[in-house]
Amino acid sequence: MSWSWQNRISIPASEQTSARIAGSDENAFVTRGMQSIVDAEDSAVGLRTLRRWSPRGLHRTAVSLLAERATSFRAQLAGLPVPKRYASGELSGEDLGGLRATGCDVRVAVRI
């Protein structure tokens, strides 16, 4: 897909931007798309932030943000096929039973 900043879909603005970036070919975004975003930015703060990004890094981040995966950190942690450890503070009030039930080694730091 060639890059076009004008392609809009009806989703929230932040997701819309990621969707437009991710929907383009990575190399096309690197050569033309990033400059289109910079040219369209009207905020000085936004422009300074954009200029810090690598075009390839921005494209890959957008693709990652839209990738399907478990929505919560705990669901992602529980799904990992490796030994897992989770650290929590005594005063957090977290329910850690669900994590323990998945085989996760849960450690609680005690307040001294």
- pLDDT over 60 at 77, yes or no: yes
Higher pLDDT, 90 or 17: 90
- Quick one: 20 and 59 in the same domain? yes
- Quick one: 44 and 84 in the same domain? no
> Structure pTM?
0.54
Residue 73 has a pLDDT of 86
Residue 88 has a pLDDT of 94
What one-letter code names the amino acid at 2?
Answer: S
Is the residue at 2 inside a domain? no
3-state DSSP call for residue 53? coil
Whole-number Å distance between alpha carbons of 99 and 8 = 40
- Quick one: 49 and 89 in the same domain? no
Residue 79 has a pLDDT of 87
Q: CB–CB of 30/59 below 8 Å?
A: yes
